Structure 1
């Protein structure tokens, strides 16, 4: 019996019906483009969230996390209300509760369940721990109730849970990467059509390595800053007569910017349009096997997120600058921003040097020591027991 299954048995007094898992993700390039109908190039991580689940005979939802010492969060399925999701120390339960609510709201016959969570994904690190929990829960409930859901449909339900129940107006990239990614590939997404292309991405063969630098600066995308940027983008698209900023051609960017009076709006628009172009550029380089040449677009993307989108922070900027000075081909923040993690592309034999340089730079700046790990493109959601 797996650890999470044994913990379920110890907690609830009976065994789970199964264990399901979904990974976090790193976004190689394409940040804040998904809610603008744009392009992104994420891949799944080997770090995963596991959920042990069993159905109940009543309408009670029992949620427990190995990482939250607050006991079982008990909710009434019939009383789930997006206006009143769990808050405070029980706030994590809003994610699985939102999935249950989204399934019921879509007309699926879902009943009460007991659920126990264990994850090796750090929360607030910009690695989509929330999407992993949502996707793992959605997969578990879909299989337990024999619901005919495809992987993209599981992702869409998970996103609806986060948008409508948790209250974070995210795009669908995180959930799609967690649900649909494959080993050794990046997932090129068109977030308008939901078209997916699996692009070979094997750093080891090229003698390269991707590192994730978790700054340990926590971010909370439900605090309004994320929603403000999304709203600004949508207003800008409307003022330009476009369905979304994805529809603004790169060649027309300067002309469009000249018609926008607000400097911050111009920055938001410039980032989205240039970031979409960077995604397509990096895709071409990966297909051609020119992995080292993807470094400069990563660094360009970080500068755009820092200066135009204004979602970086001193720790992320220091991680990127230090890694690049220590020999990285390119680095950038990954995730929604305001904290979280940076991604850096290096030669495999430079791992120790780059890690040491970043760690020492953080110490000199008086920052919390970063956590540096390898990022290996991995498979998406699955049943593990």
Structure 2
């Protein structure tokens, strides 16, 4: 399938720019198994890559021109044939609020870091659902970064590309995201979940083959869209930083799980900050518990831990929504092993850990529950741990 996709993207590139690309690359979306809103608190996360990818056909330019096109945006969206033309020397943070800010931001971040990027022609196509909490933006950033890294011979490793992509999104786009999404896109391996310490970016690939154990992990895209750079995400991050400052630590990662109650007492009657701190500290502990269970072969036992995570995100971090809660409640009532929202919140997707034999029943139950509630029909698919960013051609 990757060969066919690469060929189609390369052919579109040729029609757009009049010559074939120098190569075609892919970077995946991700599902976070556990560890939500811990990454910008220097904590632990555990994502894995999806088979859904952003694919980029790219060629270098030497005239300082950056030309961008997306198959996912209407051809009348910008310029002739939908191609946006920018000059790399003119790229500046927060000057673009459209989709082009993500690839342009990567070029800006690379140049700001001292890498001589003299221009590029780029055509992009993505199967990662946008706004579903599956890191469509990080996939877009990482695929462009990897392509330019290869073409310009920069010699950057996956974690370094992830750092640059995070900077592009933080500074150029203006979204205060953590490092998890970009690292997952750049570094995940097929058949594994990535146990990542976001403080030092140390990584461990944890085998995660549910099919071999008669289980499946479903993603339920609620079709409720979110916009991280607008408001609530930033408020939660600021609240976490306030909590760390009040507790005299560099980040909430430094609050030990067995010292949580004492920390909460020190925060006094600031209930909002107390809730945020409680979620982050307990979520870090949940990540470590899931790693331990998977490494000891007790995969089924991660289900209740996932559900605990949802309760914490719903009640303490307060970033769930009726659609996400309905997925979780319905799935658990129908016998799911565990379920929780995943991603930044306020919409997006939930994950459901289920026995293989229960998948059809669970899917039908969730769809019927949404119909009864008058919600938009959800999109349900199986999440298979897949490869990270790579060159296709």
User: Scaled by the length of structure 2, what TM-score is found?
Assistant: 0.96
**Structure 2 unmatched runs, 5+:** 1-5
Note the alpha carbon deviations across 1:32-79, whole angstroms, 9 max, x for none. 000000001110111111001111231111111111111111111110
Aligned pair partner of 2:88 in 77, 94, 99 = 77
Equivalent position of 1:343 in the other structure: 351
Alignment pair present for 1:329 and 2:337: yes
1:320 match: 328
Are 2:173 and 1:162 equivalent residues in the alignment?
no
RMSD between superposed Cα atoms in Å? 0.8
1:221 has 2:236 as partner:
no
Instruction: Give the distance between the partners of 1:291 and 1:176, measured in 2 at CA.
Output: 24
Q: Does 1:63 align with 2:71?
A: no
Residue 151 of structure 1, CA deviation: 0.9
Match of 1:277 in 2: 285
* Aligned counterparts of 2:276 and 2:141: Cα–Cα separation in 1: 29
Could you tell which deviates more after superposition, 67-76 or 301-310? 67-76
Would the aligned equivalents of 2:242 and 2:273 in 1 still touch at CA under 8 Å? no
Matched, 1:96 2:107: no
- Give the Å deviation of 1:316: 0.4
Number of residues of Structure 1 aligned to a counterpart in Structure 2: 381
CA distance in 1, matches of 2:94, 2:176: 15
Of residues 283, 286, 297 in structure 2, which corresponds to 1:289? 297
Q: Residue 32 of structure 1 corresponds to which residue in structure 2? A: 37
Given the two structures, how large is their TM-score scaled by the length of structure 1?
Answer: 0.98
For 1:45, which of 44, 50, 71 is the aligned residue?
Answer: 50
Q: Which of the numbers 16, 21, 31 marks the counterpart of 2:21?
A: 16
Residue matched to 2:3: none
Q: Deviations over 1:124-175 (max 9, x none)?
A: 0000000000000000001010001011111111111111101111110111
- 1:76-106 CA-to-partner distances (Å, cap 9, x unmatched) read 111001041x22xxx1100000000000000
- Aligned-partner Cα distance in 2 for 1:235–1:111: 41
Instruction: Give the Cα–Cα distance (whole angstroms) in 2 for the partners of residues 363 and 137 of structure 1.
Output: 39
Moved more, 267-276 or 2-11: 2-11
Partners of 2:94 and 2:353 lie apart in 1 by 42
Query: Partners in 1 of 2:70 and 2:161 — Cα distance?
Result: 22
- Structure 1 unaligned regions, length at least 5: none
Q: Does 1:233 align with 2:240?
A: yes
Which residue of structure 1 lines up, in the alignment, with residue 274 of structure 2? 266
Instruction: Indicate the residue corresponding to 2:196 in structure 1.
Output: 189
Instruction: Measure the CA separation in 2 of the matches of 1:10 and 1:327.
Output: 51
1:74 is paired with a residue whose SS is strand
**Runs in 1 of length 4+ with deviation above 4 angstroms?**
none
Distance in 1 of aligned mates of 2:283 and 2:263: 16
Per-residue deviation, residues 175-233 of structure 1 (Å, max 9, x unmatched): 11110011111100000011100001100111000000000001100002111111110
- 1:197 and 1:238 map into 2 onto residues whose CA distance is 30
C-alpha contact 2:50 2:384 (8 A) present in aligned 1: yes
User: What is the SS of the residue equivalent to 1:222?
Assistant: coil
The Cα of 1:259 is off from its aligned counterpart by 2.1
Matched position secondary structure for 1:223? coil
Q: Quote the residue 1:120 is aligned against.
A: 127
Match of 2:114 in 1: 107
Matched residue, 1:212: 219
Which residue of structure 1 aligns with residue 10 of structure 2?
Answer: 5
Deviations 1:3-44 (A, max 9, x none): 111111111121111101000000000000000000011101
Could you say what secondary structure the match of 2:217 adopts? strand
Query: Aligned to 2:369, which of 352, 356, 361?
Result: 361
C-alpha distance in 1 between matches for 2:24 and 2:239? 41
